[in-house]
Homo-oligomer: A and B are copies of this chain.
């Protein structure tokens, strides 16, 4: 059981290290990825759902992303309560750079797990969730 926890943390660590050179953390990269994939500004509540975390966490994350100039808070004309997060050009650029690093880690990991049955592994890990 602790092998699963440790393996998860080890992969996280590797991703953090890979993203550090492009000045991103895994959390920031994940948020940017969701926003880029969505193709449109997402409300902070939607962001919280995508990131599987509570909303107050997103408030803080957006503060940091805005301070980095990667994201901008924009008002929602449809709902005056809502605030949407919009990726800036710099944010999109940074996300793309991060994606390259992540792909590298993925390739390394695939190599590490060569010889294993990926489908079986995938099924086992999915079952845990």
Contact = CB atoms under 8 A, between A and B. Distances in A.
Number of copies of this protein chain within its complex:
2
B4 A8 contact: yes
Give the contact-size bracket for chain A: 20 to 34
A128 B109 contact: yes
Given A117-B120, A120-B117, A4 B112 contact: no
A38 interface: no
A125 B124 CA distance: 11
A127 interface: yes
A67 interface: no
A12 B116 CA distance: 25
A11 B116 CA distance: 22
Contacts of A3: 122, 125-126
Nearest to A10: B129
A28 to B, nearest CB: 15
A36 interface: no
